[in-house]
């Protein structure tokens, strides 16, 4: 009797495990990794996307554009988020990847609020990041040493800034930080500090700078009067399928593009009055 009971319990336990396994197998997930500038948009859209899809998940992580591109190319993740074209990144075979441009983001220099400067020329900004101007007094500010904070190597935000401000030269060696939120905090807390952020991360904790009499605004980005901007790319290895395709269709949907994108500090691609290619040239 005991032996028969044990057999029945074993069968029942096996059936329960089998049922659980089937339930677990029904769960689907997508992983998107890369650009910290794009991360807030993807995270917010992912939360909305998951609300009506029980058992389906979108995991969003930062790490920088270079990480996103390399990981999606290797097949380690489903989506690689990037502030740069795949063609711009060494070691990436852009022919393997499909580019989904989900937004545009402006990038602006940000400074500690107590430096006494609110406007620079492009040449002055360039000289600061190349180490040729080292005190704010040299550009009309306080007698205060300039403290440079760079984004980490591999950051798409850094690549965009160096492309359009430094003519593709590399900024002088200085403290580096990968997190956009941490960049803002350090600049806010450090006398004389300067760095650069995507518009979506700018708050009243830091000041932005007018450059060549042009303010860092969405309207000036749309016309390319403010040239320090980039497309926000979500790359897939080949055409997306299954849940990845559903998520990409959702983030590119009219509702998300017309509402969430602008609300979160980005610019819908459809609102741009110019188009740039991977070389930075205006496409006619």
CATH of the domain at 117: 3.40.190.10
Of the candidates 118, 125, 81, 119, the one whose C-alpha atom is nearest the C-alpha of residue 99 is 81
Residues 166, 63 share a domain: no
Q: What is the DSSP letter of 31?
A: E
Q: Please report whether residue 119 resides in a domain.
A: yes
Residues 111, 210 share a domain: yes
Query: What CA–CA distance (Å, rounded) separates 130 from 74?
Result: 35
Q: Where are the beta strands (DSSP E) in the chain?
A: 28-34, 56-63, 79-82, 97-111, 119-120, 147-151, 175-177, 193-198, 207-208, 210-211, 229-237
User: 């990409």: which residue's tokens?
Assistant: 248
pLDDT by 10s per residue, the chain, length 284? 444 444 444 444 444 444 443 333 346 899 999 998 999 999 999 999 999 899 999 999 998 899 999 999 999 999 999 999 999 998 999 999 999 999 999 999 999 999 999 999 999 999 999 999 999 999 999 999 999 999 988 888 999 999 999 999 999 999 999 888 899 999 999 999 999 999 989 999 999 999 999 999 999 999 999 999 999 999 999 999 999 999 999 999 999 999 999 999 999 999 999 999 999 999 96
Residues 92, 133 share a domain: no
Residues 55, 90 share a domain: yes
242: containing domain: 28-105+229-271
Residues 214, 112 share a domain: yes
pTM attached to this predicted model: 0.84
């Amino acid at each position: 009797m005991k032996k028969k009971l044990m057999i029945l319990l074993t069968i029942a336990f096996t059936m329960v495990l089998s049922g659980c396994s089937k339930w677990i197998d029904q769960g689907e997930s997508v992983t998107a990794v890369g650009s910290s500038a794009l991360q807030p948009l993807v995270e917010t859209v992912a939360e909305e996307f998951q609300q009506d899809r029980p058992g389906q998940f979108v995991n969003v992580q930062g790490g920088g554009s270079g990480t996103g591109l390399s990981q999606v190319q290797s097949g380690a993740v489903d989506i690689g988020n990037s502030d740069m074209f795949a063609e711009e990144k060494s070691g990436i075979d852009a022919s393997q990847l499909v580019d989904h441009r989900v937004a545009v983001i402006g990038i602006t220099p940000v400074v500690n609020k107590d430096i006494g400067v609110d406007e620079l020329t492009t040449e002055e900004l360039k000289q600061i990041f190349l180490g040729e101007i080292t005190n704010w007094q040299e550009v009309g500010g306080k007698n205060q040493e300039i403290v440079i904070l760079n984004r980490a190597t591999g950051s798409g935000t850094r690549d965009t800034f160096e492309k359009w401000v430094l003519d593709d030269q590399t900024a002088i060696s200085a403290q580096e930080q990968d997190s956009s939120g941490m960049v803002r905090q350090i600049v806010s807390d450090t006398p004389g500090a300067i760095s650069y952020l995507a518009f979506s991360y700018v708050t009243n904790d830091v000041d932005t700078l007018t450059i060549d009499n042009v303010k860092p605004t969405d309207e000036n980005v749309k016309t390319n009067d403010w040239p320090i901007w980039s497309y926000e790319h979500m790359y897939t290895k080949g055409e997306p399928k299954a849940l990845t395709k559903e998520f990409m269709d959702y983030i590119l949907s009219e509702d998300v593009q017309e509402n969430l994108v602008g609300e979160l500090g980005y610019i819908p691609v459809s609102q741009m009055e110019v188009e740039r290619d991977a070389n930075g040239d205006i496409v006619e």
